[in-house]
């Protein structure tokens, strides 16, 4: 079932597109955090305010405008000395749906300016007629490619998948493509 389809349908056995994307992003986040962390540079310890503008439903031919605000806290040391970044935020769509969430991110420095930022969050989703994801509880996983300027501001492009992970009968899922600016909070 696609994001714009609100009819109840029985899903075929096996992995659907949302399950495959959720698994892909979860694997990508683990790979980035655990396998590639040895190449990561230490970053200054500061929080970020991330502002994003994008489109929801980019793979569903829906393309509803979205606006996001996220606060990324100062990192803490997680398992295997990985610097995890707690985050809280909200995304509002022009069609009335919105998503409020909390989760974790990780800064993987490719070099002194370029970063990959995988993230995984859990949140409450308010449905709209165009975007019915099947549940109020939804997971969002994604990856951001960002450029960090000398003044620690960042500009990036992010791709996210939102899905309930199969915890309800309907699990259509949708994707977000967004441009973001991150402002350091020191």
Which position has the token pair 């000395």? 81
CA contacts within 13 A on the Cβ side of 93: 24
Predicted pLDDT at 80: 85
Angle in degrees, CA 11, 24, 16, rounded to 5: 10
Q: In the block, which residue shows the tokens 């970053």?
A: 43
Which pLDDT band, with edges at 50, 70 and 90, does 173 fall under? confident
Q: What is the DSSP letter of 2?
A: -
How many other β-carbons are positioned within 10 Å of the β-carbon of residue 97?
A: 22
pLDDT recorded at residue 21: 56
pLDDT digits (tens, 9 = 90+) for 51-89: 999 998 888 877 789 999 999 999 998 888 888 999 999
Q: Highest mean pLDDT: which of 55-64, 114-123, 127-136? A: 114-123
pTM: 0.76
Spell out the domains of the chain, with CATH numbers in brackets.
Answer: 45-185 (2.40.160.20)
Answer for the pair 154, 134: CB distance below 8 angstroms, yes or no: no
Tell me if 159 sits within 8 A of 127, measured CB to CB. Answer: no
Percent helix, strand and coil across the chain, each to the nearest 5: 15, 50, 40
pLDDT digits (tens, 9 = 90+) for 12-21: 344 444 455 5
Whether 97 and 90 have beta carbons less than 8 Å apart is answered as no
- The region, left, alpha or beta by phi > 0 then psi within -120 to 50, assigned to residue 145 is beta
Question: Residue 48, class by beta-carbon neighbours within 10 Å (0-12 exposed, 13-18 middle, 19+ buried)?
Answer: buried
């Amino acid at each position: 079932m696609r994001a714009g389809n609100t009819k109840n349908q029985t899903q075929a056995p096996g992995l659907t597109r949302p399950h495959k994307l959720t698994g892909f992003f979860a694997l990508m986040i683990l790979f980035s955090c655990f396998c590639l962390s040895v190449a990561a540079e230490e970053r200054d310890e500061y929080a970020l305010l991330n502002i994003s503008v994008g489109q929801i439903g980019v793979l569903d031919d829906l393309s509803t405008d979205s606006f996001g605000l996220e606060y990324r806290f100062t990192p803490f040391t997680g398992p295997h000395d990985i610097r995890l970044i707690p985050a809280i935020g909200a995304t509002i769509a022009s069609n009335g749906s919105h998503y409020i969430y909390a989760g974790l991110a990780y800064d993987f420095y490719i070099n002194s300016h370029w970063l990959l930022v995988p993230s995984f969050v859990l949140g409450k989703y308010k449905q709209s007629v165009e975007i019915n994801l099947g549940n109020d509880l939804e997971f969002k996983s994604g990856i951001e490619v960002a450029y960090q300027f000398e003044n620690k501001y960042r500009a990036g492009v992010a791709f996210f998948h939102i899905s309930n992970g199969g915890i309800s009968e309907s699990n259509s899922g949708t994707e977000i493509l967004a441009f973001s600016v991150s402002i350091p909070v020191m």
